[in-house]
Structure 1
Amino acid sequence: MLHLRHFVARSTLRALCLASASVLVAGVAVLAVRAEAAPVAAVAQTAFVSDRLSVEVVGQGPDVVLIPGFASSREVWRAEANRLAATHRVHLVQLAGFAGEPWTHGDGPYVAPMVEELARYVRQAGLERPAVIGHSMGGLTGVLLAQGHPELVGKVMSVDSLPFFSAMFGPQVTAEAARPFADQAAAGILSADEAGFRAQQTQTAVGLIRDPATREAMVEWSMASDRHGMAAAIRDVMTTDARPGLVAMTTPVWAIYASDADGGAPAAMADALWSREYAPLPGVKLFRVDGSRHFIMADQPARFAELVDQFLAD
């Protein structure tokens, strides 16, 4: 995620983290287990072995793959996964380098190899065109997976995610134009000391989510992330433009996005951005969730669950 509060006033998305030449604005997307979530008995760590991701499986039924965002733990989905497990087999993805998951690739590429490993998991696990739900960077991952491997994906829900995150700078911005900012963001993540990094995470959390307890949990997950993994991911996310592939997509896509009149994205600005960026995608369904910041599943859990159920039934 790239957080653009210093570049777009009251940003339409508290979704990425950007370092300027002097200030790191680290917007991470992590969420702890919600206290009210009931435990699910049928939990299994898959036999799938990868240095890019791991997967935990809960429940039985049609397959649903849940992908977290930048610096997130799979726990971002725990409450929703526990709810869905009564009727679905849920595959909780954990991306390498985030929230304590090991990272062994230095400053190398992040997004493309991870998408290919996710495709390998779908094949190896024998999933038959699962529904894929991704938050922020995870939403971009779902779209890229469907573009590169349409035979593997039944449908995609993109949660507060754009096909090109740097479009928040403006409609004229290209991946190449975003590269210097991506390099600055990566350098800022790597250079910040622990105290400064925690302070920035704490400050940025306010813009990402309304719930105070979840803000605190989010900071801890970000502090447990590997800085090189975060830097590699932010560099890739800011310069990955999935928009050229939208027009040829045949996979159904729902794009859920947030609006919050009290400190978040104004509705008109969010509507304009999401409509513009997803315009080339045939049949895309756009749903705005009001009273929410970036973590829709936490800020508006009942509305989010309702949308997920509609998406899975569609």
Structure 2
Amino acid sequence: MTMQRPATFLRNIAAALLLTATAATAPAAAATPAAVVADNPAAHPNFTVKVVGKGQPVLLIPGLTCPGAVWDETVARYQKQYQCHVVTLAGFGGATAPASTNQLLQNVRDQLLAYIKTQKLNRPAVIGHSLGGFMGLWMSTTQPEAVGPLVIVDSLPFLAAVQNSNLTAEAARPMAEGMRQQMSRGKMSMAQQRQMTAGMMNDTARISQAARWGQLSDPATVGQAMYDMYTTDLRAELGRIQQPALVLGAWAAYKPYGSTKESTRAIFAQQYAKLPQHQIEMSEAGKHFLMWDDTQWFFAQTDAFLKQHALAKK
């Protein structure tokens, strides 16, 4: 993939990919409500969960700096068909920062898998945006039998290799460390936050909201999350994933840097090559926040996928 300004492109796609449905028409009888089990928040200090709706369980995981509220419209659409478990990671969007950032995303992964087990969720579907999509993949490669169908919204199994497919996690560490140190120094100004988020979505009000969430996020947590993603390569492990996955990609934000829909799709195809059951769909005009920018397309894709895989096979 040829870029006119590779360094600038990499910074923008890193920020974009890390920032952090007509309703399904299956009859209500097809959905068996998940068992209601008393939650123990102390068991998962790296995130909180809000449960809304009834039906088959679905975990919704946001991207970098975003709280679970980024899924409000998605939850409103699906809560009559699905039991939505809406995740907010500690340190993002005003949530209290974790006590330690050591092995941050690995701890999130392990605590989410434990949450699925203690809540007795039967292979819940996962809808994850950016970091949330990466987390869905990581959970699935770690415990393939625990997780159900995946909807991955503009995310990759190894972000650092977006330009160089031969890059290893070890080789990416110096770059990742530099990013961690830079982001951990302190919060960006609101003007800087708005400038960064403006390239990830089209709606002015949405830009303001995402910028506020970024301003409220803990810099050390954000920096560590980026470091963890840049130094974790899931590509070789994708073959362990047993369930189907829908990968929704964006490319329009990268057009100024030489990207085309076809060249961006090729990156997705290469990174997901070892994932056994997957389909890649590219939005025509949506930027990184596809559930906001290309809402009807996002819902149409997700509706059909969940109807086929989350309800029909339960």
Q: Same fold (TM over 0.5)?
A: yes
Gaps of 5+ in 2: 21-35, 309-314
Q: Contact 1:136/1:160 (CA < 8 Å) preserved in 2?
A: yes
Structure 2 residue 71 is the aligned partner of structure 1 residue 81: no
Structure 1 residue 47 displacement after superposition: 2.5
For structure 1, which segment, 205-214 or 260-269, has the greater mean C-alpha deviation from structure 2 after superposition? Answer: 260-269
Structure 1 residue 64 displacement after superposition: 0.9
Provide the residue aligned with 2:29 in structure 1.
none
Give the one of 155, 158, 161 matched to 1:164.
158
Report the structure, 1 or 2, having the larger strand content: 1
Number of equivalenced pairs:
287
Structure 2 residue 172 is the aligned partner of structure 1 residue 178: yes
Structure 1 residue 108 displacement after superposition: 1.3
Q: Contact 1:62/1:130 (CA < 8 Å) preserved in 2?
A: yes
| Aligned counterparts of 2:39 and 2:13: Cα–Cα separation in 1 | 32
Q: Within 5 Å, which residues of 2 pair with 1:46-85?
A: 47-49=39-41, 50-85=44-79
1:309 alignment partner AA:
D
Structure 1 residue 259 displacement after superposition: 2.6
SS at match of 1:55: strand
Structure 2 residue 83 is the aligned partner of structure 1 residue 92: no
Structure 1 pair 129/273, CA: closer, same or farther in 2 (3 Å)?
same
Structure 2 residue 246 is the aligned partner of structure 1 residue 254: yes
Q: Within 5 Å, which residues of 2 pair with 1:138-153?
A: 138-153=132-147
1:250 alignment partner AA:
Q
| Aligned counterparts of 1:236 and 1:279: Cα–Cα separation in 2 | 22
Provide the residue aligned with 2:25 in structure 1.
none
Structure 1 pair 292/263, CA: closer, same or farther in 2 (3 Å)?
farther
Structure 1 residue 200 displacement after superposition: 2.5
Q: Contact 2:241/2:276 (CA < 8 Å) preserved in 1?
A: yes
Structure 2 residue 3 is the aligned partner of structure 1 residue 7: no
Provide the residue aligned with 1:23 in structure 2.
none
Q: Contact 2:48/2:87 (CA < 8 Å) preserved in 1?
A: yes
Structure 1 residue 100 displacement after superposition: 1.3
Q: Contact 1:133/1:139 (CA < 8 Å) preserved in 2?
A: yes
Provide the residue aligned with 1:210 in structure 2.
202
2:153 alignment partner AA:
V
| Aligned counterparts of 1:282 and 1:106: Cα–Cα separation in 2 | 36
Give the one of 13, 16, 19 matched to 2:14.
16
Identity, in percent, stands at 30
Provide the residue aligned with 1:29 in structure 2.
19
1:97 alignment partner AA:
G
Structure 1 pair 28/144, CA: closer, same or farther in 2 (3 Å)?
closer
Q: Within 5 Å, which residues of 2 pair with 1:261-280?
A: 266-280=260-274
SS at match of 1:145: helix
The Cα RMSD (Å) is 2.4
Q: Contact 2:250/2:288 (CA < 8 Å) preserved in 1?
A: yes
| Aligned counterparts of 1:80 and 1:260: Cα–Cα separation in 2 | 22
| Aligned counterparts of 1:231 and 1:241: Cα–Cα separation in 2 | 18
Structure 1 residue 248 displacement after superposition: 2.9
| Aligned counterparts of 2:38 and 2:101: Cα–Cα separation in 1 | 27
SS at match of 2:112: helix
Q: Contact 2:59/2:126 (CA < 8 Å) preserved in 1?
A: yes
SS at match of 2:86: strand
| Aligned counterparts of 1:120 and 1:88: Cα–Cα separation in 2 | 20
Structure 1 residue 254 displacement after superposition: 1.3
| Aligned counterparts of 1:27 and 1:63: Cα–Cα separation in 2 | 25
User: After superposition, what is the alpha-carbon deviation per residue over 1:11-43, rounded to whole angstroms, capped at 9, x for unaligned?
Assistant: 6x95533xxxxxxxx98637xxxxxxxxxxxxx
1:243 alignment partner AA:
R
Q: Contact 1:48/1:55 (CA < 8 Å) preserved in 2?
A: no
Structure-1-length-normalised TM-score:
0.85
Structure 1 residue 199 displacement after superposition: 3.0
Provide the residue aligned with 1:293 in structure 2.
287
For structure 1, which segment, 263-272 or 249-258, has the greater mean C-alpha deviation from structure 2 after superposition? Answer: 263-272
Report the structure, 1 or 2, having the larger helix content: 2
Q: Contact 2:45/2:98 (CA < 8 Å) preserved in 1?
A: yes
For structure 1, which segment, 242-251 or 121-130, has the greater mean C-alpha deviation from structure 2 after superposition? Answer: 242-251
Structure 1 residue 270 displacement after superposition: 1.2
SS at match of 2:276: coil
Structure 2 residue 283 is the aligned partner of structure 1 residue 284: no
| Aligned counterparts of 1:231 and 1:149: Cα–Cα separation in 2 | 27
Gaps of 5+ in 1: 18-25, 31-43
| Aligned counterparts of 1:189 and 1:111: Cα–Cα separation in 2 | 16
Provide the residue aligned with 1:235 in structure 2.
227
1:16 alignment partner AA:
A
| Aligned counterparts of 1:227 and 1:106: Cα–Cα separation in 2 | 13
2:14 alignment partner AA:
L
| Aligned counterparts of 1:5 and 1:141: Cα–Cα separation in 2 | 31
